[in-house]
Amino acid sequence: MENCRVPEENRLQVDNSFRDTAKVLKGTRYFVGWEATGCAMGAYENALKYCQERLQFGKPIGSFQLVQDLLAKMLANTTASQCMVVRTAQLEAEGKLTDAHAALSKAFTTAKCRETVAWARELLGGNGMLPSTTSAVSSRMLKLFTPTKALTKCKI
C-alpha cells in the first residue's frame, strides 16, 4: 500500500510488535474454542429434543438404535470439547497457556463442532435445513471457523 495512513485512534495502542499481536491471536483462538463448544452443545440439545418429540412408526425416532448412535457420538464430541476448553481455561488462569494449547483447542473443538452439527442436520432431516432451526444457524456459524483450519494446525 502506498500513502496509506491509519489514524492514531484506530491503532492498537499497546501493540508495539508482532509478539503483542500474537498474544491477541492466542486469546482469539482460545475463545473460538468456547464458541465452537457452545455451538455443538446447541446442535446436540436441539437434535435430542427433536428426536424425543418426532414420531415415526408410532414411537419417537430417538428410540431407534441408529439415531441413538448418532446422539451418543454427538454427546461424546460435546463432552470432549467441554473438557478441552475447561482445561484450556485452567491453563490460562495459571498463566501457562501457550500458542500451541490455544491452537489445539481451537482445531479440536471446531472439528468436533462441524461433525456434531452435520449429524444434527442429518437427524433433523429437512427441518435441519430450515433457516429458523438451531442447526441451520449453527451451520452458518461454522463457516466462520472453517477457513483457518489448516493454518491453525500449522501452529500446533
pLDDT tens track for 106-128: 999 999 999 999 999 899 987 76
Whether the CB-CB separation of 106 and 26 falls below 8 Å is answered with no
Mean pLDDT of successive 10-residue segments in the chain (156 residues)?
Answer: 85 70 76 93 94 96 98 98 97 93 92 93 80 57 55 58
CA–CA distance, 98 with 110 (Å, rounded to integer): 18
CA–CA distance, 47 with 49 (Å, rounded to integer): 5
- Which has the closest alpha carbon to 121: 107, 134, 108? 134
> In b/e form, how buried is each residue of 133-143, taking b as 16+ CB within 10 angstroms?
bbbbbbbebbe
pLDDT tens track for 128-151: 666 666 555 555 555 555 555 555
Whether the CB-CB separation of 77 and 116 falls below 8 Å is answered with yes
- Which has the closest alpha carbon to 45: 132, 140, 106, 117? 117
Whether the CB-CB separation of 128 and 119 falls below 8 Å is answered with no
Q: What predicted TM-score, i.e. pTM, was given to this entire model?
A: 0.77
